[in-house]
Amino acid sequence: MPRQITRNRPLQLIYGIVLALSPLAADTAEVIVHREVSTATLTVSMARAMFGMRQNKWPDGTPLKVFVLPDAHPLHKALCREVLDVFPYQLRQSWDRQVYSGTGQAPTELTSEEQMISQVSATPGAIGYVKKASNSDAVRIVPVH
Amino acid sequence: MRYALSLYISTLLVSASALAEGLPENIQVHGFVSQSAAWTNHNQVGGNQPGKVGTDLHEIGGNLSWRPDADWLVSGQLLSRLAGASDNGNVRVDYAFVDHTLLEFEGQRVGVRVGKIKIPFGFYNTTRDVAHTRPGVIPPQSIYYDQLRSSFLAAPGMAVYGDGEMTSGGLHWQVSIIRPEINDRNLTILMVDQQPGHFNGLPSILGQAIYDFDGGRWRTGLTMSNMKMQYQPGVGDFLHAGHITLNTGVLSLERNSEEWTHTVEYALTHQIRNGFNVPFAPILDMGTTIEAAYFQTQWRFVQQWQALARFDMLYLNSRDRNGLQFAAATGMPAAQRYARDWTLGLRFDPSKDWSLFAEWHRVSGAAWLSKLDNPPAALATPWNMLLLQAAWRF
């Protein structure tokens, strides 16, 4: 076994460099909330219900405000793939079905990660997402299991 | 005049979209516009003459929703739909209701909706008039049968609903008690042919459950409905005040992957008819089973582009699939009793707000064509149709 690892090391190194340079690798998403949200962790089901716009409030009763980035944004794709385990087009279909049948509202769409941090930090009950290891004290990171 | 009106409504919508940005965060305004062109070699769609292009096909809608607090939602939508001779483009209330969440915890919620509510029926019914939410230019006509749309579209009533996200999947259900608004010439002609009366809806019940597995990679659905209507004879009518009950079951299945979506829906509608009492037309009091199904594949082959292939079939009497018994009994064309439609389509989304569609149909039979556009004696089969559509939404 050790021999095999040694033999594959150059390949792993190349793979590591490619990953580090690829834009996909940079976009690992992490869910953030307004600092006063009392919920410490979320389940995948809860996160899906929240980003799917089928949940109106936090367990403590605070109204939920959902912020997202455009469907084609690498960070939005990363949230769908890694956190929610859904395809972005399905999330869009779910929002459309609610918006045009009157059964729900659309999330607020922002254009950049900076805007995401400033909106989530300024809106009580807000949920959004950022790149993993983004350093901002203005919002709180909530692990999703 | 029609075009001036649609242009005026569209301009209003564009202004509304500009205003939408400045609204308070708990109020949202959305809208949509689509314009289509239809060409057929036989039969009429969208006000065309065979061999020519018709453009009497548009959908314009605008909605407003207001969430005064987390548990309440008030929403309404206005719609203008022009569809050849079968829909005249008049602006009407598409839905208007109050939604109250009764309980909510950890990804689950249960609530009620009261007012004029949209009716969940199969995968597409609640937003069937919004181009962006459809798989193609027209929804599969077997199940989303435009001549019956008034009975299944939206109706005054109340509904209890629930949404639950669990580790294994998501369950979305709704049970509605409604009184369908079916004073509609299309439906009258479909049910009893050219008679002067009309139908009134009676209290009806409808339920749907959709279960998503594996993050929506599989979606399954069951819709059951019991829709009742009564005929109101017109002046000089030889029909009596008959009743029709439509008992429908729809099974829905969808498989989603990054590039592909495969969808199958199958519906059986048992039609119970009585009380028309016309000695020389006993067929008016004979029940039938309507059978409808389609198989559809959507392929997102490159970003912004999507291809569609579909086979769609509708039999107004499952025991007389080619309409021959009907033709022998009534002397009317068999083609109005069945339709088998092969469709190929292409969709291009140049931006989030715009979609362009093109679609080719090869159809044998004509069961889903509007009888207001196509008097049965003039029906021709098989026939071809090309549809083009541009759609914008905000």
Yes or no: say if B252 and B223 are a contact pair by the CB < 8 Å rule: yes
Which of A59, A89, A102 is nearest residue B77 as measured by Cβ atoms? A102
pLDDT value of residue B116: 98
Q: Is the ipTM of this complex over 0.90?
A: yes
For A6-20, A51-65, B255-269, B379-393, which range has the lowest pLDDT when averaged over its residues?
A6-20
- What Rg, from alpha-carbon coordinates, does chain B have? 21
CB contact under 8 A, B109 and A55: yes
Distance of alpha carbon B324 from alpha carbon B18, whole angstroms: 56
For chain A, which domains are there? 27-141 (3.40.190.10)
B128 touches chain A (CB under 8 A): no
Distance (Å) of CA B363 to CA A35, B21, B62, B224, B335: 59, 45, 33, 28, 11
For residue B166, the chain A residues in CB contact (below 8 A) are 45
Distance of alpha carbon B42 from alpha carbon B52, whole angstroms: 10
CB contact under 8 A, A100 and B77: yes
pLDDT above 70: residue B67: yes
Return residues 319-338 of B near A (CB < 8 Å).
none
Decide: residue A43, CB within 10 A, 0-12 exposed, 13-18 middle, 19+ buried: middle
pLDDT in tens, A56-101: 999 999 999 999 999 999 999 999 999 999 999 999 999 999 999 9
Average pLDDT, chain B: 94
Distance of alpha carbon B225 from alpha carbon B267, whole angstroms: 11
Name B290's Cβ contacts closer than 8 Å, sequence gap at least 6: B267, B268, B269, B271, B314, B315, B316, B317, B318
pLDDT value of residue B14: 79
Return residues 29-58 of A near B (CB < 8 Å).
43-46, 48-49, 52, 54-57
Amino acid at B158: M
Strand partners, A70: none
- The backbone torsions φ and ψ at residue B51, rounded to the nearest 5 degrees and listed phi first, read 90, -5
For residue A70, the chain B residues in CB contact (below 8 A) are 352
pLDDT above 70: residue B200: yes
Distance of alpha carbon B265 from alpha carbon B242, whole angstroms: 31
In the 8-state DSSP scheme, what is residue A107? P
- Mapped onto helix, strand or coil, the DSSP state of residue B313 is strand
Yes or no: say if A61 and A39 are a contact pair by the CB < 8 Å rule: no
CA dihedral B100, B101, B102, B103 (to 10 degrees): -170
Distance (Å) of CA B211 to CA A88, B159, B162, B281: 19, 19, 12, 44
B130 touches chain A (CB under 8 A): yes
Which of A46, A85, A105 is nearest residue B215 as measured by Cβ atoms? A85
Largest CA distance in chain B: 65
Distance of alpha carbon A50 from alpha carbon A13, whole angstroms: 39
CB contact under 8 A, B165 and A45: yes
Which of A48, A87, A101 is nearest residue B256 as measured by Cβ atoms? A87
pLDDT value of residue B174: 98
Q: How far is A7 from chain B (nearest CA, A)?
A: 35
Strands A65-68 and A126-131: what pairing? parallel
pLDDT value of residue B318: 96
Strand partners, B385: B40, B361
Distance of alpha carbon B239 from alpha carbon B192, whole angstroms: 9
pLDDT value of residue A3: 41
CB contact under 8 A, A97 and B127: yes
B262 touches chain A (CB under 8 A): no
pLDDT value of residue A23: 46
CATH number attached to the domain at B93-393? 2.40.160
Peptide bond into A10 cis (omega under 30): no
pLDDT in tens, A7-48: 455 555 555 555 444 444 446 899 999 999 999 999 999 999
CA dihedral A119, A120, A121, A127 (to 10 degrees): 170
Q: How far is B207 from chain A (nearest CA, A)?
A: 16
CB contact under 8 A, B109 and A54: yes
Q: What distance lies between CA B266 and its chain's CA centroid?
A: 15
Instruction: Count chain A–chain B contacts defined by CB atoms under 8 A.
Output: 118
What mean pLDDT is predicted for residues B364-392? 94
H or E segment to which residue B343 belongs: strand B338-348
Distance of alpha carbon B127 from alpha carbon B65, whole angstroms: 16
Up-side HSE of residue B159: CA atoms within 13 Å toward CB? 26
> Residue A5: pLDDT band by 50, 70, 90 thresholds?
very low
pLDDT value of residue B376: 87
pLDDT above 90: residue A132: no
CB contact under 8 A, B77 and A54: no
Q: How far is A4 from chain B (nearest CA, A)?
A: 34
pLDDT value of residue A2: 40
Taking residue B284's Cβ as centre, other Cβ atoms within 10 Å add up to 21
pLDDT above 90: residue A50: yes
For residue B69, the chain A residues in CB contact (below 8 A) are 63
Q: In what order do the strands lie in the sheet with A108-109?
A: A108-109, A65-68, A126-131, A29-34, A139-141
Distance (Å) of CA B80 to CA B3, B92, B182, B301: 12, 6, 17, 33
pLDDT in tens, B108-150: 999 999 999 999 999 999 999 999 999 999 999 999 998 888 8
pLDDT in tens, B313-342: 999 999 999 999 999 988 999 999 999 999
pLDDT value of residue B334: 96
What mean pLDDT is predicted for residues B38-66? 94
Domains of chain B, residue spans = 93-393
What mean pLDDT is predicted for residues B245-256? 98
What mean pLDDT is predicted for residues B365-389? 94
pLDDT above 70: residue B25: yes
Q: How far is B298 from chain A (nearest CA, A)?
A: 12
CB contact under 8 A, A93 and B133: yes
CB contact under 8 A, B28 and A99: yes
Q: How far is B64 from chain A (nearest CA, A)?
A: 8
CB contact under 8 A, B165 and A104: no
